Amino acid sequence: MSNDKSFISRRDLFIVAIIISGGFVTILNQTVLSPALPSIMRQFNINASEGQWLTTAFMLVNGIMVPVTAYLVDRFTTRFLFMFSMSIFTIGTALAAFAPSFSILLAARIFQAIGAGIQMPLGSVVMMLLFPKEKRGIAMGLVGIVVSFAPAIGPTLSGWIVDAWGWHYIFRLIVPLAALDILFAFFFLRNVGEVRHPKLDWISVILSTFAFGGLLYGFSAAGSYGWGSMTTIVPLIIGAVALVVYVKRQLVLEEPLLELRVLKTPIFAYATILTMVINAGLIAGTVIFPIYLQNVLGYSALKSGLIMMPGAVVMGIMSPISGMMFDRFGPRKMSLVGLSIMTVTTFSFCFFTENSTALYLCSIFCIRSFGMSMVNMPINTWGINALDNRYVAHGNAVNNTARQMAGSIGTAIMITIMTIVMTATMTMGEVHATVEGMHAAFMFSTILALIALVIAFFKVHDDEAALARRQSAKAEL
């Protein structure tokens, strides 16, 4: 960072732009496939369970890569790791763009997942190391633009492209964007942080793969096949056993693959718990709400995306503003206000009916998104700031892994709740039963938001020393 009075040097500004662009492209890629699945299934003559592997395989490989990124960030330079991950992602995207068969398209998605699984955690670490602690709020706010905006425009953009040109063009349009980012990285990206040479424990890599892969797949299968299915039970058992062994091994290794001892830092531990509870509850907005719009109100995928897009715009605008507010005021007031808004608006979802208007739904979703923008990244930054810089990569990997696991668990539980209630009320009509099932899922999400609010009230406090540094930095400007 520059020591002058400018917010950030021009050289560092290029790094920020490159990192954010890479994150935007890779996250956008994760969300564009769903509207294209029907077209892909018709072209390759496959059924829904086979087609779903394009999403499941990506999720699994991405989830497996995240815990490994802490080692990769320690072992390789920022420049090399960024260009390597973006190159793997671009190769996979190019393969997908011209895939002549389903097997090649599936292989392409795996390549994309490897690159994306490295890209986002790396981007967060670089932003954390690039900015001093008193400016990390705005840094993570910039990352929040990517995290919130890309997933929201992905399905809408994808639906439009599929209708206009066909599913191949989803990937053909992403390839030049990714290639351009690699080109800029080649000329402008410099190394951030220190390179160490930790020993790679292959047993930990294998255990990590079975642990996180098994659990992610098991919870995903629970939402589709039910908790009693062997497709659900076997992966969950394998994942749970592998996770126990993995955790014990990390705690005794001198150079663990993932430094779990960061959880001994109370602030980081509470931030991680909050992250898990919040993200488990957020699934109601990203999974259940679109189902409500399409299956209950009969909206098209495009119209559903347009209803949700203003919320994404709100989050995109608010993310850097929330970051600046965090740098100035700390996390306590922001988290309490944000979680209060989330609790009330999520509770409002419990009263949606088959007659709710698009304007009303869009308004509630926007207000909820406003609350979310005041919570997610500020809480994450609060936790990471409690760690020494040499543990930032490990803390970020722990946080991202916890977020993914919580999202999978939340999805499985909410789909289960919705299915149970729908089955119990089916005599009242399919549409009414669907609404009742969604109300139950939204109520569960409301309870999670309330739990997060209580945790924040008792455990989230402003760091007085950090606030003093912020005030001092402000006075120097």
Instruction: Dump the DSSP string for 335-355.
Output: HHHHHHHHHHHHHHHTT--TT
| Cα–Cα distance, 223 to 220 (Å, whole number) | 6
Q: 415-461: per-residue pLDDT in tens?
A: 889 889 999 999 888 888 989 999 999 999 999 999 999 999 999 99
Amino acid type, 376: N
The residue written with tokens 């190394």 in the block is 191
Sign of CA dihedral 408, 364, 354, 349: positive
Residue 191 pLDDT: 84
CATH assignment, 261-477? 1.20.1250.20
- Helix-helix angle 53-75:392-424, to 10 degrees: 160
Radius of gyration for the chain, computed over Cα atoms and rounded to the nearest angstrom: 22
What single-letter amino acid sits at 37? L
Domain map (residue ranges) of the chain: 1-189, 201-256, 261-477
The closest of 54, 411, 427, 404 to 223, measured between CA atoms, is: 411
Question: How many Cβ atoms from other residues are within 10 Å of residue 197's Cβ?
Answer: 9
pLDDT of residue 9: 67
Report the distance separating Cα 276 and Cα 329, nearest Å: 24
Residues 6+ apart with CB under 8 A from 368: 285, 311, 341, 342, 345, 346
Mark residue 77 as left, alpha or beta (left: phi above 0; alpha: psi -120 to 50; beta: remaining): beta
SS3 sequence of 97-160: HCCCCHHHHHHHHHHHHHHHHHHHHHHHHHHHHHCCHHHHHHHHHHHHHHHHHHHHHHHHHHHH
Q: What whole-number distance in Å separates Cα of residue 202 and Cα of residue 195? A: 20
Spans of the chain below 50 pLDDT: 1-6, 477
Least Cα distance to 62 among 92, 102, 19 occurs for 92
**pLDDT at residue 304, as a whole number:** 79
Q: Cα 145 to the chain's mean position, in Å?
A: 12
| Distance of alpha carbon 168 from alpha carbon 40, whole angstroms | 9
1-189 and 261-477, same CATH topology = yes
- Single-letter amino acid, residue 441: A
Task: Count CB neighbours of 175 within 10 A.
Answer: 20
Other beta carbons within 10 angstroms of residue 237's beta carbon come to 12
Domain at 1-189: CATH code: 1.20.1250.20
Give the CA angle between residues 302, 17, 58 to the nearest 5°.
50
Helix, strand, coil in percent for the chain, rounding step 5:
85, 0, 15
The pLDDT, as a whole number, for residue 248 is: 96
Q: What is the pLDDT of residues 289-318, one digit of tens each?
A: 887 887 889 887 678 778 888 888 888 888
Residue 452 has what pLDDT?
Answer: 95
State the pLDDT at residue 475. 56
Residue 360 CB coordination number (10 Å): 12
